[in-house]
Structure 1
Amino acid sequence: MVKVLRTVEELQRWRAQVRAAGRQVAFVPTMGSLHAGHLELMRAGRARVPAERGELVISIFVNPTQFNDANDLAAYPRDEAGDLALAAAEGVDVAFCPEPDALYPKGASTWVEVGGLDNHLCGASRPGHFRGVCTVVTKLWQLVAPDYGLFGRKDYQQLAILRRMHRDLFLCGEVVGVSTVREPDGLALSSRNVRLDPAARTQALAIPRFLDEVRARFEAGEREVEALLAGAGERLGAGEVHYVSAVDADDLQPVVRVEAPTLVALAVVFSGVRLIDNVLLEPGAS
């Protein structure tokens, strides 16, 4: 059974016991509605911290400060009982499931921001989103004090921002990126996928198909971004395209030619459901 902790004080007492026992901690922060992508993060955490050596911890918390739209927050899927059953099957030891006022007590006024990396991609249209992400992850990291924190590469901008935050704030442990998990037809797994109606679910396949085309052009020798992204509007036209961009994989600034590791990322809305995905292009990689 998964040990469920709901208050900061409970988590702090548990962490002190683990520290005293000399055991390691792998941590997977989630907003619940767990899917196979989350389970892969848990497996990656358990691989780094086997049961005989330490604890596998998740958090289930729909963080209100990273939502720009109250309707999006209200619509975000929640299934704690189902999530805990899936976590138990993966050998999770502890789940931290707080209420919002546990992490944002009355009068809380401290925020964590990473300047510069949130100017493009999702950050351009979601002001304050990454401030909310960084703030809640900092709080959770401070409480859990993990040896390893596991995050998916599907949310590449988030991963890059959290890595920079981790470095700049001298936080303990290591931020670990885990490869995107996909459906058999190529669509990246997301908690939002359950909100797609059948027609939108079919239309959304344009995303992985377009990214496959971008990779194929790159592998054929194309390096100019304009040519790599040609046809995006036509290929993704069934959805509302928020952005299709090529940015430096480290500082997330736009590029016009792929001369260093480059992220091609996009966000497209189908029937009101916003999906993101990306492909990493690495010159010289074998």
Structure 2
Amino acid sequence: MQTVQGVAVARTCAEFSAWCRSFRAGGRTLGLVPTMGALHQGHATLMRMAAQHADGVAVSIFVNPKQFGPAEDFGRYPRQFEGDCALCAAAGVAVVFAPAVEELYPAGFQTRVEVEQLQARWEGQSRPGHFAGVATVGIKLLNLALADVAVFGEKDWQQLAIVARMARDLGHPTRILGAPIARDPDGLAQSSRNAYLSADERSRARAISAGLRAVARAAADGQRATAPLVAQLRAHIEAAGGRIDYATIVDAATLEHLDCLDRPARALVAAWFGAPKLLDNWALGPSDSADAGNMR
């Protein structure tokens, strides 16, 4: 394997799988953090969480074409491999897996993994085929690493729920963990997409987290009907000039819309401020577990 910016890099499935087997052979535990690169400090929090649950951390960097729709520009997704490796090295990552597209999807590849109900609404409705791409690459990475834990960010709550359900349904031994959302001091959820915001758009985009906090306060004060909470959230975002794709309150595990906060719930929102669509969410109702493997 080569070394880039101080971290070992595997380029082939065979190389990565062999490294993971060798690492675990001595009884050591392994954590996996799947990413698409363009790493930032939010990703570093995922790596640190993985390190808290395992003796070593592997990070995959793969811009997955199967989760891009026909109207989404796969070629324009930011790629900064040297910088990504430097961040991984600083976070103490043991190995980076950075395969070419044809390595994960060789000629003749036909398999598609779907988690039917969880992918049908919200982000899945806006981006048909997206979560099938996420699940397909997800199971490939889980199978290659056979890690003890895999860490995904809670910012993409629907993705986390889908990966957890897939792992549970398929009996995969890797435990799926959700890492709390990393936020900048102004409250904006950290995301690779934030780089596309102008200063004005970024300032206005703070309305997303402000609206979510307001909804959480209202829920904590006893508001149980979700319709007023969703209306409050939408008003915050629209007043700042945001264009909403969806804003809803759902069962944290099933992602079904809730009319009443009588179980662990999430307020989900996706909205455009300028070109990038920003995703965020907030826990509501009775506390839900950070271990996504507990999702039913």
> Where does structure 2 lack aligned partners over 5 or more consecutive residues?
1-5, 289-296
> Which residue number corresponds to residue 81 of structure 1?
82
Matched, 1:214 2:219: no
Matches within 5 A, 1:23-102: 23-49=28-54, 54-102=55-103
CA pair 11-283 structure 1, distance change in 2 beyond 3 A: closer
Runs of 4 or more, structure 1, over 4 Å off, are none
Per-residue CA distance 1:89-134 (angstroms, 9 max, x = gap): 1111100001111101111000111110112221111111110000
1:260 and 2:255 aligned? no
Instruction: Please report how far the alpha carbon of residue 177 of structure 1 lies from its aligned counterpart in structure 2 after TM superposition.
Output: 0.7
Distance in 2 (alpha carbons) for counterparts of 1:111 and 1:47? 33
Offset of residue 69 of structure 1: 4.2
Instruction: Flag the 1:9–1:68 CA change in 2: closer, same or farther, 3 A.
Output: same
Secondary structure of 1:205's aligned partner: helix
Aligned Cα RMSD in Å?
1.4
Match of 1:147 in 2: 148
Q: Secondary structure at the match of 2:73?
A: helix
In the alignment, which residue of structure 1 is the partner of 2:294?
none
TM-score by length of 2: 0.91
Q: Distance in 2 between matches of 1:154 and 1:116?
A: 20
Question: 1:75: how far off?
Answer: 2.4
Please name the residue that 2:169 is paired with: 168
The one of 269, 275, 278 aligned to 2:278: 275
Opposite residue 150 of structure 1, the aligned amino acid is V
Q: How much has 1:181 moved relative to structure 2?
A: 0.4
Question: Using the alignment, how far apart are the partners of 2:202 and 2:161 within structure 1?
Answer: 28
Aligned match of 1:191: 192
Secondary structure of the residue that 2:247 maps to in structure 1? strand
AA in 2 matched with 1:14? W
Alignment check: 8 A CA contact 2:211 2:233 kept: yes
Match of 1:242 among 218, 236, 245: 245
1:67 Cα offset (Å):
1.1
Q: Which runs of 5+ in 1 are unaligned?
A: none
* Contact 2:142/2:174 (8 A) holds in 1: no
CA distance change for structure 1 residues 175 and 222 in 2, over 3 Å: closer, same or farther?
Answer: same
| In structure 2, C-alpha distance between the alignment counterparts of 1:90 and 1:190, rounded to whole Å | 18
Question: Which whole-Å CA distance do the structure 2 matches of 1:83 and 1:144 have between them?
Answer: 20
CA distance in 2 between counterparts of 1:43 and 1:233 reads 34
Distance in 2 separating the partners of 1:164 and 1:206:
31
Indicate which of 3, 7, 23 corresponds to 2:8: 3
Are 2:37 and 2:80, in contact at CA under 8 Å, matched by a contact in 1?
Answer: yes
Are the aligned partners of 2:9 and 2:98 in contact in 1 as well (CA < 8 Å)? Answer: yes
Secondary structure of the 2:139 match is helix
**CA distance in 2: counterparts of 1:214 and 1:163, whole angstroms:** 26
Deviation at 1:85, TM superposition (A): 0.5
- Using the alignment, how far apart are the partners of 1:25 and 1:284 within structure 2? 28
Distance change (3 Å), C-alpha of 1:235 and 1:147: same
Once the two structures are overlaid, the 10-residue window that deviates more, 204-213 or 7-16, is 7-16
TM-score (norm 1): 0.95
Question: What is the one-letter code of the residue matched to 2:48?
Answer: R
**Count of residues paired in the alignment:** 281
Structure 2 distance, partners of 1:179, 1:225, is 23
Q: Which residue of 1 aligns with 2:293?
A: none
Aligned equivalents of 2:74, 2:158: Cα separation in 1: 20
For 1:25 and 1:70, the matched residues in 2 are separated by 37
Identity percentage over the alignment? 43
Post-superposition shift, 1:22?
A: 2.7
Give the whole-Å Cα distance in 1 for the aligned partners of 2:154 and 2:146.
22
